Structure 1
Amino acid sequence: MNLKNILKYLISLAIAGGLLWFTFKQSHLDVGDLMQKISAADYRWVLLSGLFTIIAHWSRAERWRLLLEPVVPQRPTSLETTVSVLTGYLANMALPRAGEVARCGTLYRLSAVPVNVSFGTVVAERLFDLLMLILLLGATFVLEFDRLSQFFMEFLGGKLPKGSSGSSLLLLAGAVVLGGALLAWFLFNRYREALGKHPLYQKVSGFLKGLLDGLLSVRKLRRPGLFVVHTLLIWTMYYLMSYTLFFAMPATAGLGMLAGLTILVVGSLGMAAPTPGGIGSFHLLVGQVALLYGLTSQDGQILATFIHGVSAVMIIILGILALLVVLLRRNKTTNLPDVLDDPKAIKLER
């Protein structure tokens, strides 16, 4: 690991620690009270959440196999892709964004699938997850509009004119967005030729084209219907992983299904932040959104810590088991050179 990567890791670790310290201080949460509440939880619900976690990771591995099917001659088994996915999640707990590389490297070790090809399928997979997150974000906003608008009204406080309502705020925001979009479209058409020569425009347009190509890659799938089924199954399991944990503690047992949806979406945004395993960012966002559903700041932070902790423990346990599988199967792949030294593993295909 070079100095640049070390600095990146230290910065992400510092951000995680700072956010975690801030959330605990803001909620006035006593660590002793936190441990007491978590130790008194009903762990039958934790076991059920763990089952949903395993199903989600297996389904993600199966969906990955569907993406690999039309682009590589190798046929990795369900065990090989599942082990690779779990290894990637374990790596993400230590280093943000390291999971994709570890996942593809493990799959190469197990089934000789070239890293550059498998990495491309992982990027395409992430695009579909991003699309699902956007759809869920929109659904959450529509279903919980009153609650969310009330939250933003209270958050903005005196910055809004007297008599302003959530509906008027939405209309104003919509008018601003529509006006901005029309202005941007006018300027784009007027200065398109000049913009086309600008490096920033070329980078942005190239990025957007890559996103579109990734989303359209589903047309190459041999079983697109099964791909959609696995995508829906993954996100359903993600929802149930956190929703079932509500019932493990008396303070959160009364939260409804919409609360589970909101926490799923907000928690996913927190996990996407550049911190190891979403530490700090997840706690901050989920702890704040829990206030919308009548929880105290302490109970909201306990819930966030509990959900994140259960998820982290499951990843560590499953990740260690995955590493053991890799080590046990090592004798079957001893003829493969190291991933970083093998040109076939990273060869760019045309």
Structure 2
Amino acid sequence: MKKTLQYLISLTVAAVLVWFTFKDIDLNTLWEKIKQADYRWVALSAVMALVAHWSRAYRWVLMLEQMGYKPSVFRTTLAVLVGYGANLIFPRAGEVARCGTLNKLEDIPFEKSFGAVIAERLIDVLVLLLLIFLNFIFEFDRLKDVFFNFFGEKFKNPLLLGSYALVGISLLVAAYFLFKKNQEKIAQNTIYQKVAKIIGGFASGFMSVRNLKNPSAFIFHTILIWTMYFVMTYVLCFALPETANLSPLAALSIFVMGSIGMAAPTQGGIGSYHFLVGSIVVLYGLSQQDGITLATFLHAMQGMVFVAIFGIIAFLLTLVLPKRGVRI
């Protein structure tokens, strides 16, 4: 019931954002411009997307190897692609589907691979925060008003924020001392023991990034993943005549806002991506019509078509792959 409610809320948020974003847009004009796009750039972008997904899988393998597992990079890539495909259906289901698929293909404990995924997601958040910072520094004159309009209200009442923080810290301290007082009794509980085992697996996967055998390869693939993400966005801008002359800094702004939009709790970033990218593009001289057209085109290619095609192919391959022990 809870999952159903979350899904309905996500759909509602996406629907509202889509309506708000497209209510003043001529959809016929939008569709005609997308049909006339140069799809050679789309093909190039698709290749870059595959490189990024392969690199993400390779980085995941590096983390799993530290825990004593040596999965096939090919199979791990399939698991990554299946995970992205699952996100189109259920928001945030991708990580679960990804680890479940790897468990099926390579018999790696779910909690171990999931802990590694959490660690890599936190690293990706740090990379995105760095990109947001750099984007804000390089494009301060354009982005300052957008930033303060979005976040300015949050800092108007520091006393209220301090009160929330104090209450939160107090609750955590109270919970800690309550647990310590009853630790021996709690430790004998069967449910606690099962949960502790799962959490231990998560922790092992999460901490795997600290003791990597090849940290330079991990850093390289982290840079490669995000470089491919940025370049595939920039390349797609060349496919539409109205956006072919956008600068790399404009593409960086589009990429950063698009990444934030894709992280929103809606199916595949639908609505949130269009709203944020469409809003930022007008700062670079494009009309609202052209801005939403570009946002729709980018999201359709990167967030829907590529993900759906790669995800379906990967899922079908997982159904026919030989059992673990037979390498490809």
Structure 1 position 120 matched with structure 2 position 119: no
Query: 2:42 aligned with 1:46, yes or no?
Result: yes
Q: Residues 167-201 of structure 1: CA distance to partner in whole angstroms, max 9, x if unpaired?
A: xxxxxx8xx79x969x96xx97xx99967634599
Runs of 5+ consecutive residues of structure 1 not aligned to the other structure:
157-172, 203-211, 335-350
Determine the C-alpha separation between the residues in 2 that align with 1:84 and 1:111: 10
Q: Which residue of 1 aligns with 2:283?
A: 292
Q: Which secondary structure state, in structure 2, belongs to the residue aligned with residue 332 of structure 1?
A: coil
Q: Over residues 319-348 of structure 1, what are the superposed CA-to-partner deviations in whole Å (9 max), with x where a residue is unaligned?
A: 11101110111x5269xxxxxxxxxxxxxx
> Aligned equivalents of 2:59 and 2:146: distance in 1?
37
Rounded to whole Å, the distance in 1 between the matches of 2:66 and 2:169 is 38
Report the Cα offset of residue 150 of structure 1: 4.8
Q: What CA distance in whole angstroms lies between the structure 1 residues aligned with 2:218 and 2:169?
A: 40
- In structure 2, give the amino acid aligned to 1:123: I
User: SS in structure 2 opposite 1:248?
Assistant: coil
Give the letter aligned to residue 42 of structure 1: D
Residue 214 of structure 1: CA displacement? Answer: 8.4
Please show how residues 11-90 of structure 1 align to structure 2 within 5 Å: 11-25=9-23, 28-72=24-68, 74-90=69-85
- Sort the Cα spacing of 1:320 and 1:149 in 2 relative to 1 into closer, same or farther, 3 A: same
Counterpart of 2:138? Answer: 143
Q: TM-score, length-normalised on structure 1?
A: 0.77
Structure 2 CA distance for aligned equivalents of residues 294 and 200 of structure 1: 54
Q: Is the 8 A contact 2:85 2:308 kept in 1?
A: yes
Q: In structure 1, what residue type is equivalent to 2:74?
A: L
CA distance in 1, matches of 2:88, 2:43: 21
Please tell me the root mean square deviation across aligned C-alpha atoms, in Å.
Answer: 3.1
State the distance in 2 between where 1:13 and 1:59 align.
31
User: What does residue 102 of structure 1 align with?
Assistant: 97
1:105 and 1:152, CA in 2 relative to 1: closer, same or farther beyond 3 A? closer
Compared CA separation, residues 201 and 149, structure 1 to 2 (3 A): farther
- Conserved 8 A contact 1:247-1:253: yes
**Deviation of residue 7 (structure 1)?**
1.9
TM-score, length of structure 2 as denominator length = 0.82
Cα gap change, 1:248 to 1:201, in 2 (>3 Å): farther
1:283 Cα deviation after fit: 0.4
Q: Does 1:315 align with 2:311?
A: no
Contact 1:140 1:261 in 2 (8 A): yes
Alignment correspondent of 2:86 = 91
- Over 3 Å counting, the alpha-carbon distance change for 1:328 and 1:293 in structure 2 is same
Counterpart amino acid of residue 223 in structure 1 = N
Counterpart-to-counterpart distance in 2, 1:201 and 1:44? 62
* CA distance in structure 1 between the partners assigned to 2:28 and 2:276 by the alignment: 22
C-alpha distance in structure 2 between counterparts of 1:241 and 1:230, whole Å: 16
| Structure 1 residue 242 displacement after superposition | 0.8
Query: Do the aligned partners of residues 221 and 150 (structure 1) sit closer, same or farther apart at CA in structure 2, a change above 3 Å counting?
Result: same
Post-superposition Cα deviations, 1:220-267, rounded to whole Å, max 9, x if no partner, equal: 100000000000000000001110111111111111000111111111
Q: Distance in 1 between matches of 2:255 and 2:214?
A: 28
Question: Aligned with 1:94: secondary structure?
Answer: coil
Distance 1:76 1:30, change over 3 A: same
Question: Can you list the C-alpha shifts for 1:145-164, whole angstroms capped at 9, x where unaligned?
Answer: 111125568x69xxxxxxxx
Summarize the Cα distance change of 1:18–1:225 in structure 2 as closer, same or farther, 3 Å threshold.
Answer: same
Q: What secondary structure is seen at the aligned counterpart in 1 of 2:66? A: coil
Cα distance in 2 between the residues matched to 1:151 and 1:225: 37
The question of whether the paired residues in 1 share the 8 Å contact of 2:112 and 2:204 is answered with: no
Q: Distance in 2 between matches of 1:254 and 1:11?
A: 38
Taking structure 1 as reference, are residues 152 and 272 closer, same or farther at Cα in structure 2, changes over 3 Å only?
Answer: closer
Aligned-pair identity (%): 50
**Equivalent residue pairs, number:** 297
1:202-213 equivalences under 5 Å are none
Task: Report the AA paired with residue 59 of structure 1.
Answer: S
* C-alpha contact 1:271 1:281 (8 A) present in aligned 2: yes
- Whether the aligned pair in 1 keeps the contact of 2:84 and 2:307 (CA below 8 Å) is yes
Conserved 8 A contact 1:23-1:280: yes
| Residue pair 1:127, 1:214 contacting (<8 A) in 2 also | no
Deviations 1:292-325 (A, max 9, x none): 1111001000000000000110111111110111
Q: What does 1:1-12 align with in structure 2 at a 5 Å threshold?
A: 3-12=1-10
Contact conserved, 1:151 with 1:292, CA < 8 A, in 2?
no
Taking a change above 3 Å as real, the CA distance of residues 213 and 333 of structure 1, as seen in their structure-2 partners, is closer
Query: Deviations along 1:13-33, whole A, 9 cap, x unmatched?
Result: 1211111111001xx212211
Cα distance change of structure 1 residues 116 and 75 upon mapping to structure 2, 3 Å threshold: same
Superposition deviation, residue 219 in structure 1:
2.6
